[in-house]
Structure 1
Amino acid sequence: MDYMTLKEASEKWGISSRQVNYYCVEGRIPGAVKIAGVWLIPKDAEKPIDGRRKNIL
């Protein structure tokens, strides 16, 4: 399985690397693992839905 770093995920999803870190800590990214203090995220992982916002149409 291929992995990407927090920085790569943040660039791919258009959010800050800090927000990606929060998603990892909260367990919201399936398959994310922390090895030697570095989060590794599967390349095929989907961006979690931001629960702070509501979609108003």
Structure 2
Amino acid sequence: MDYMTLKEASEKWGILSRQVNYYCVEDRIPGAVKIAGVWLIPKDAEKAIDERRKVDRDLKNDC
């Protein structure tokens, strides 16, 4: 299995590497492992859903 770093994942998903780190710590990215202090994320992993967003942006803009 191929892995990517926090930085690579953050660039792929368009978020900060710190947010990717939070997702890893909270076990929200399946297959992510921490080896020697470095998080390795499967290249085929999907971005975790941001649970802070409860309302879809499109619905919010229609109002």
What SS class does the counterpart of residue 19 from structure 1 fall into? helix
Q: Which segments of structure 1 move beyond 2 Å, counting only runs of 4 or more?
A: none
Q: Percent identity, please.
A: 89
Listed as ranges, the gaps of 5+ residues in structure 2 are none
CA RMSD of aligned residues (A): 0.7
Encode CA deviations 1:1-20: one digit per residue, 9 max, x unaligned. Answer: 00000000000000000000
- The alignment covers a number of residue pairs equal to 57
Q: CA deviation at 1:45?
A: 0.1
Q: CA deviation at 1:44?
A: 0.1
**Relative contact order (C-alpha < 8 Å, sep 6+): which is higher?**
1
Aligned: 1:29 with 2:35: no
Aligned residue in 1 for 2:52: 52
Greater gyration radius: 2
Matched to 2:48, the amino acid is: P
Listed as ranges, the gaps of 5+ residues in structure 1 are none
